[in-house]
A and B are shown apart, each in its own frame.
Chain A
Amino acid sequence: DQQVKQNSPSLSVQEGRISILNCDYTNSMFDYFLWYKKYPAEGPTFLISISSIKDKNEDGRFTVFLNKSAKHLSLHIVPSQPGDSAVYFCAATWSGTYKYIFGTGTRLKVLA
């Protein structure tokens, strides 16, 4: 049972435009969500997170939006840069657990 889903395996975006990566979840217990970026031969790197008490969190070019009623979150990257090309994982967790549930990832390619 895939509790965290990233339905787009890949995404290509022109440099300077907006990249939007989507993530859906099924477990209502999730109360904290994270995005990780992964380059080849490296471990995932934390990017940005959001608590379920918020609907938006911003950090520089990265913004995460959370729609709890739809059980959906998205990561916006503006403007996109070639260095943003990587695999992006959405992850979720909840109070009282120590494990993160990851989606299957979306490979973003930013074209110069």
Chain B
Amino acid sequence: DAGVTQSPTHLIKTRGQQVTLRCSPKSGHDTVSWYQQALGQGPQFIFQYYEEEERQRGNFPDRFSGHQFPNYSSELNVNALLLGDSALYLCASLERDNEQFFGPGTRLTVL
């Protein structure tokens, strides 16, 4: 079992650009959550997807959007990138309401 995988590992973008991050959940997991971890901070909840719908959202602007596919994989899209969007983006998958398993994250740098 590969666990939760995320791509790409690292990404560099410039202000104003758009970015798409990808996540494949652990086998058998149907729910995906996304978190943003800024330097020196703990992970902050962006949103959660279940049955291809956004089930809950944290305090993030509409520039952050997502999608879940029928195979449960997920994408996080960020539009109009700001310097402050530079962070580690973590994906976590879970089966129903069980324990969350985190992927290694995507390090996004916005210049």
**Are A and B a genuine interacting pair, yes or no?**
yes
Using CB atoms and an 8 Å cutoff, list the residues of chain A in contact with chain B.
4, 6, 36, 41-46, 49, 89, 91, 97-105
Which residues of the other chain, B, contact A6 by a CB distance below 8 angstroms?
Answer: 42
Q: How far is the CB of A100 from chain B (nearest CB, A)?
A: 7
Which residues of the other chain, A, contact B100 by a CB distance below 8 angstroms?
Answer: 46, 100
Question: How many A-B residue contacts, CB cutoff 8 Å?
Answer: 50
Query: Whose C-beta in chain B lies nearest to the C-beta of A99?
Result: B45
A99 to B94, CA, bound (A): 12
A43 touches B45 (CB 8 A): no
Q: How far is the CB of B83 from chain A (nearest CB, A)?
A: 21
Interface centre among B33, B40, B92, B100 (most CB of A within 10 A): B100
A43 with B4, Cβ < 8 A, contacts A98-B56, A99-B48 known:
yes
Which residues of the other chain, B, contact A98 by a CB distance below 8 angstroms?
Answer: 31, 33, 48, 55-56, 97
Partner of B104, one of A42, A49, A102: A42
The 10 closest A-B pairs by CB, nearest first: A43-B102, A102-B42, A99-B45, A98-B56, A98-B48, A44-B102, A102-B43, A43-B103, A104-B42, A43-B104
Write out, one digit per residue, whether chain B residues 5-46 have a CB within 8 A of any chain A CB (1) or not (0): 000000000000000000000000001010100001111110
Interface positions, chain B 62-111, Cβ under 8 Å from A, are 90, 92, 97, 99-105
B99 touches A46 (CB 8 A): yes
Which residues of the other chain, A, contact B90 by a CB distance below 8 angstroms?
Answer: 43-44
A105 touches B101 (CB 8 A): no
A41 to B4, CA, bound (A): 14
Q: How far is the CB of B74 from chain A (nearest CB, A)?
A: 14
Interface centre among B42, B100, B104 (most CB of A within 10 A): B42
